[in-house]
Structure 1
Amino acid sequence: MAVVGPTGSGKSDLAVALALQLDGEVVNADAMQFYRGMDIGTAKITPAERRGVPHHLLDTLDVTEEASVSDFQREARAAIADIHGRGKRAILVGGSGLYVRAALDVLEFPGTDPDIRRRLEAQLADAGLAPLRTRLEAADPVSAARLGDARRVVRALEVFELTGRPFSSFMPAREYFQPAVQIGLEVDRQLLKDRLARRVHGMVANGLQDEVQRLDAAGLREGKTAARALGYSQFLKVLDGEWDADQATEDTIVATRKFARRQLTWFRADPRITWLDWQDPDLVAKSVGLCR
């Protein structure tokens, strides 16, 4: 089963409560919580908050390493199989939509070719994005219309050269890899906006800037994934003297709210998710009922 929804909606707490009720273990599907040391800014569940429930796929990467959906798929499915093999219930939890689908759905990942990637990145550096986008429009118009940033355009062209198939042909169908139940947390959007602002202020008060400074010394800027995390990219600008802490805090709040809206849009598109009120006093009981 999986617990999904926007950041700040209480997914981690519900997953722990379900694990206690169902003799389960939790599998993390939040991409930024893979990173060791990224604790405050990702609202990573603490050992005390886990209440003795085993958690898998937390703290698996250094900040210099790049998160990989295909690696996660393999690791998450292995963790789920291990949990089920011991007669327990696996509870996937997270707001990274593609990672959730990678664990739950029939989803094929094309390979990579470093030589093709380097050549395309060199062309991007020399001539800009426009020629690559024109090439992608001819090879894969579906991806060209959907992908905006240079990194994804390069990836789509790499896949086309490597496999002869459009990148869009690898997009998942809504077909479970094995039977699953998805519970989504339905939020009051204004209350969530207020909660996210309070949460960011709390992160700052609890030492987010110091955490970013420690991770900067450990190579945070070298990481293609970790350096883009909400809060971390903003407070790197504080360390560089570009912003003050108040500006970084407000920008993090705005970015986090936008991210929550994108998460809701992603998960709302999946008709298989059963939505429950995040503030329902019977939330745990109703969730357990869906899993029996």
Structure 2
Amino acid sequence: MPQPIVALVGATASGKTGLSLDLAERLGGEVVNTDAMQVYRGMDVGTAKLPPDGRRGIPHHLLDLMEVTEPATVALFQRWAREAVADIRDRDATPVLVGGSALYTRAIVDRFEFPGTDESLRRELEAELDRVGAHALHERLRGVDPEAARSIVPDNGRRVVRALEVVALTGRPYSASLPRLEYADSLTVQVGVDIDRPTLDARIEQRVEDMFAGGLVEEVEALLRSGLADGRTAGHAIGYREVMGFLAGDRSLAEAIEQTKTATRRFARRQDSWFRKDPRIVWVAHDDPDRVERAVAAIEALAPR
């Protein structure tokens, strides 16, 4: 019988990384990254990427695969992740997916067929994005697909462009192309890390302070020399765009730190809202001393070991 697929989900700074290591050790597993920004080489401090000496000797997959100038897509990530999961299971190990990118996780574990793309249309929409800005395109999306507009923040120009492209190509709402709440493999368990908002906000504040103290500005300076400002995906990562604004003289360092905290808190709320809509997730409290046992029990209920 194949090993189950375990996906750890929850807000940034909730404690997913530590639990993923505990579960991988307990289950004889390997970790598969599902964070959209940790695929980039050199984006370490600002993504809280676990350094090799902190991985407890557990193999980690889908880290440091791309240069910051390369665009990451959900479709590409889905293919990489599913190949990694299949390889891990072929070796009779348990894949433990972990990361805060909800759409990436859903694309891996759920039935999700991607609509096609049209390079000419995409270039036209991206040119319009550069010309009028993300908020103007978001208003256009609101007119043709209100549901998609509600689910995409106005400043996420890349997702707005993709939604408009899908609507134009398929004649259907963008939401119709999103993954259904149906696992691609029935031997899948999602475990969510539950954490109260005041504790999470305090953790986010401390994490951002630690990132700036730990060399985030220097990391961004190095990545700018590698083309970060031209990266369609990497250049929009939280923390990195704020530091780029500081380095460009658009804001003070204190403002960049506070803006990073605000953006991270907002992102964490969106993550939590997305995951709470999925009734299949088994939630464990972040501070429950038995959280590993509770997670293992949920996994064994599906696939007894």
- Above 0.5 in TM-score? yes
- Distance in 2, matches of 1:238 and 1:277, equals 37
Deviation at residue 275 of structure 1 after TM alignment: 0.7
Q: CA deviation at 1:177?
A: 0.3
Is 1:111 aligned to residue 146 of structure 2?
A: no
Once the 2 structures are TM-superposed, how far is the Cα of residue 280 of structure 1 from its aligned partner? Answer: 0.9
Q: Is structure 2 residue 272 aligned with structure 1 residue 267?
A: no
Match of 1:90, SS state, is strand
- Specify the SS of the correspondent of 2:52: coil
Instruction: Provide the rounded CA distance (Å) in 1 between the counterparts of 2:140 and 2:254.
Output: 41
Match 2:97 to one of 85, 92, 97: 92
1:288 deviates by: 1.6
* Aligned residue identity for 2:39: F
CA 1:52–1:131 in structure 2 vs 1: closer, same or farther (change >3 Å)? Answer: closer
In 2, the alpha carbon distance for the partners of 1:189 and 1:17 equals 24
SS at match of 2:191: strand
Among 205, 208, 218, the residue aligned to 2:226: 218
For residues 248 and 55 of structure 1, the distance between their equivalents in structure 2, rounded to whole angstroms, comes to: 31
Displacement after TM superposition at 1:52 (Å)? 0.4
In the other structure, the counterpart of 1:24 is 29
Higher deviation after alignment, 266-275 or 168-177: 168-177
Superposition RMSD in Å: 2.2
1:27 maps to amino acid: V
Fraction of identical pairs, as percent: 52
Q: CA deviation at 1:78?
A: 0.6
Look up the match of 2:299.
291
Residues 7-42 of structure 1: per-residue CA shift (max 9 Å, x gap)? 001111111111111110010001011111110111
TM-score, normalised with respect to structure 1: 0.92
Matching residue of 2:19: 14
Contact 2:243 2:256 in 1 (8 A): yes
The match for 2:162 is: 155
Match of 2:84 among 76, 79, 91: 79
User: Is residue 167 from structure 1 mapped to residue 167 from structure 2 by the alignment?
Assistant: no
**Unmatched tracts of structure 1, length 5 or more:** none
Are 1:233 and 2:241 an aligned pair?
A: yes
The answer to whether the Cα contact below 8 Å between 2:138 and 2:149 also exists between their aligned partners in 1 is: no
Q: 1:44 corresponds to which residue?
A: 49
1:181 is paired with a residue whose SS is strand
Contact 2:137–2:160 under 8 Å retained in 1: no
Question: 1:64 maps to which residue?
Answer: 69
Is 1:183 matched up with 2:188? no
Summarize the Cα distance change of 1:90–1:240 in structure 2 as closer, same or farther, 3 Å threshold.
same
- Normalising by structure 2, we get a TM-score of 0.88
Q: Greater CA deviation, 156-165 or 111-120?
A: 156-165
CA shift for structure 1 position 171:
2.0
